[in-house]
Amino acid sequence: MADLTILFATYNGQDVLNETLTGYTKVEATGVSWEIIAVDNASTDRTNEILVSYKGLLPLTILYHDRPGKNRALNAAISKIQSDFVIVTDDDAIPEPDFLTSWLEASKTHKEFQLFGGTIEPFFQKSPPPWMQKSRFHYDEIFAVRTLKTGPIKATEIFGPNMAVRKNIFDSGIVFNEEIGPNGLNKNYPMGSETEFCRSAESHGYKAYFCENPKVRHIVRPHQIEKDFWRKRAYRHGLGFGMQEKLKKTEKLSRFDTASILSRGVIKQGLCYFKYLTEYKEPNRQKALWQYYWEKGYLVGRLGI
């Protein structure tokens, strides 16, 4: 039985895997029994070749899952986990040297908590524009940045590139929703897979805690600071939020309620786009456009239109 399991899924990750896995070769692991489970989610590039090249350097188990969808891949790996404390991360999240020892300490110190979030800092491969750096424009939503103080938190404050779960949550039957999250065949996938998982666990009485010390640097590729990327991300973020809200509501919407949500959403979109057209200062102009695309996604997710 290992002390810790690192779990991630990867789809066509050849551009980031070397940096991430090299990071794991540099972590302090003295006194830590650990394993990495990497799930190749039907990649068509050099992902498998890169993973195999690290088998002699890391305690690495490579799985292959041919059905597209990050959450499907993660769920397929649950039965292979050999520890009671699982760090769920991404293929583009580079660990700091004390990553393992910090998480091991957290697992032993905060035994009354079952869900954990860790620090996530952006690692830009290309500098974003000055206005974005100054305002940190939607860094949380676009780059999954997370820098909270150590202590109890709401489960929805945990972000995917650096989260940990006690395995008894999986054992209880709570797994990742396979209709949400990254999917190689769906560019407009609804975001929020980890949020939905954590919210579900919290609703069953599990408690969440944030730990500052376990840190990852989340790789931000050059195309991810372009407007086209984060506009699509705004849409997917709203889509995921709307879908999760729909899942929480057990009653069927009446025609009146549907019309009310739709009309309010369309009005909000119009106001946001008008502000975008008439605002000349950044980041206010881009914030308006972000909200416009978010509202579009929300309506699709909430109403299924």
Among 32-46, 235-249, 257-271, 284-298, the minimum mean pLDDT is found in 235-249
d(CA 283, CA 299): 24
Domain ranges of the chain: 4-225, 227-303
d(CA 220, CA 120): 12
* pLDDT above 70 coverage of the chain, percent: 99
pLDDT at residue 181 tops 90: no
pLDDT confidence of residue 172: 98
Query: 227, 219, 235, 236: which is closest to 131 by C-alpha?
Result: 227
pLDDT confidence of residue 184: 77
Is residue 165 classed as helix, strand or coil in its secondary structure? strand
d(CA 171, CA 101): 25
Lookup: tokens for 171: 């054992």
Query: 140, 141, 137, 120: which is closest to 129 by C-alpha?
Result: 137
> Tens digits of per-residue pLDDT, 58-105?
999 999 999 999 999 999 999 999 999 999 999 999 999 999 999 999
d(CA 54, CA 47): 11
Among 54-58, 162-166, 209-213, 230-234, the minimum mean pLDDT is found in 230-234
Q: How confident is the model at residue 252 (pLDDT cuts 50, 70, 90)?
A: confident
13-39 average pLDDT score: 98
pTM: 0.90
Q: What is the mean pLDDT of the chain?
A: 94
Is residue 100 classed as helix, strand or coil in its secondary structure? helix
Fold of the 4-225 domain: Spore Coat Polysaccharide Biosynthesis Protein SpsA; Chain A (3.90.550)
**Number of C-beta neighbours around residue 254 at 10 A:** 9
285-305 average pLDDT score: 92
Among 45-49, 145-149, 161-165, 276-280, the minimum mean pLDDT is found in 276-280
d(CA 207, CA 299): 31
pLDDT at residue 220 tops 80: yes
Q: Are strands 115-124 and 208-220 parallel, antiparallel or unpaired?
A: parallel
Element (H, E) at 247: helix 227-248
> Tens digits of per-residue pLDDT, 141-162?
999 999 999 999 999 999 999 9
Q: How confident is the model at residue 250 (pLDDT cuts 50, 70, 90)?
A: low
Lookup: tokens for 76: 């397929």
pLDDT at residue 186 tops 90: no
d(CA 67, CA 103): 31
Residue that is written with structure tokens 């394993």 in the block: 35
Find all residues with CB under 8 Å of 155, minimum gap 6, and list them: 115, 198, 199, 201, 202, 206, 207, 208
Helix, strand, coil % in the chain, rounded to nearest 5: 45, 20, 35
d(CA 165, CA 172): 12
Query: 207, 210, 199: which is closest to 116 by C-alpha?
Result: 210
Q: How confident is the model at residue 190 (pLDDT cuts 50, 70, 90)?
A: confident
